[in-house]
A = this chain, B = another copy of it.
């Protein structure tokens, strides 16, 4: 399936918390065809470090397809022969410097100053992400969604969709997600990552554009993220206590130097360093902030009351080895959601199984979608 990135321009987007209005642009992709009744649309919401390239390839030669390509496409669980699938970039996308992402965030030039916003960019929320997606759907004449589905932070958006626009949302599937950010999740990996970025002297209060960016702090933030989204047994299976460089020629032995490295470290670092030129540290901090601020309840209502506003049937898919979104959280939410089911599996791989181990839940997605 060949796909293309599209661009949506907001002449004036108003952020809910600060009330600031700016002009903005976000990327989005669509797969399949919107039918005449405009009632076969599905919205896919991306995860923390993700972006709108959820399926297909831009060119046949692309080494990899979009991140949920196993789930989305012709004759796949989310069948693009039947459905029109839309996937949007968020504000402050972490891959701000990627040529295939269109986002507006701290790395964007503020037209009023001619310089990147940096930390003067408005603090935004998951609710703002939903509002931006609503405007994109409005422009396509879509007034009803068959399904909103997302993994992790994408799941937060899906729950927020159900709460904000219950009349529009037919069904909700959330993968490795729950409708709550509890205090431990405020810290891990979110606030710890923000702290790591701010600790890097190159961060310079967020004013590093055109200078040396805070790559060390961002790398530490990613290492905190990548260890909290994996597990002890995943690491043991893949790395054991192997050294990064058994001969000690390029990387010293860990017992000889504080610059020494085990394989687990260098392999985790490689995942980040290979894409470091695309990442923006301030954007990472803003996205982490949006996660810490996530709260379904609004205007003094309780979480119970907020959950009861979600009329759509919800399928929560949880990995029992996930440290971030747990069975306990899902069961807590299920008590108050009008129509909810849970599917549990145990990949032993942790949170990231929601992206990489789709065989654990693809049948459930297909059956729930009907």
Contacts and interface: CB of A to CB of B under 8 A. Distances in A.
B182 A236 contact: yes
B186 A293 contact: no
A64 interface: no
A196 B194 contact: no
Contacts of A46: none
A239 interface: yes
A217 B235 contact: no
Contacts of A227: 184, 187-188, 192
Contacts of A230: 184
A132 interface: no
A183 interface: yes
A201 B194 CA distance: 17
The A contact surface, by secondary structure, is helix
A240 interface: yes
A119 interface: yes
A262 interface: yes
A9 interface: no
A81 B199 CA distance: 51
A184 B232 contact: yes
Contacts of A201: 201
Contacts of A79: none
Contacts of A232: 182, 184-185, 326, 328-329
A233 B328 contact: yes
Given A199-B196, A216-B199, A292 B254 contact: yes
Nearest to A205: B258
A241 B294 CA distance: 10
A276 to B, nearest CB: 16
Contacts of A240: 182-183
A183 B224 contact: no
Contacts of A224: 192, 224
A186 B241 CA distance: 9
A299 to B, nearest CB: 14
Given A258-B119, A258-B289, A328-B233, A195 B182 contact: no
Interface centre among A184, A220, A233 (most CB of B within 10 A): A184
Interface centre among A232, A257, A326 (most CB of B within 10 A): A232
Contacts of A192: 220, 223-224, 227
B187 A265 contact: yes
Given A182-B235, A199-B200, 14 more contacts: A123-B257, A182-B240, A183-B238, A183-B240, A184-B234, A186-B264, A187-B235, A192-B227, A199-B216, A232-B328, A241-B295, A254-B289, A258-B289, A262-B292
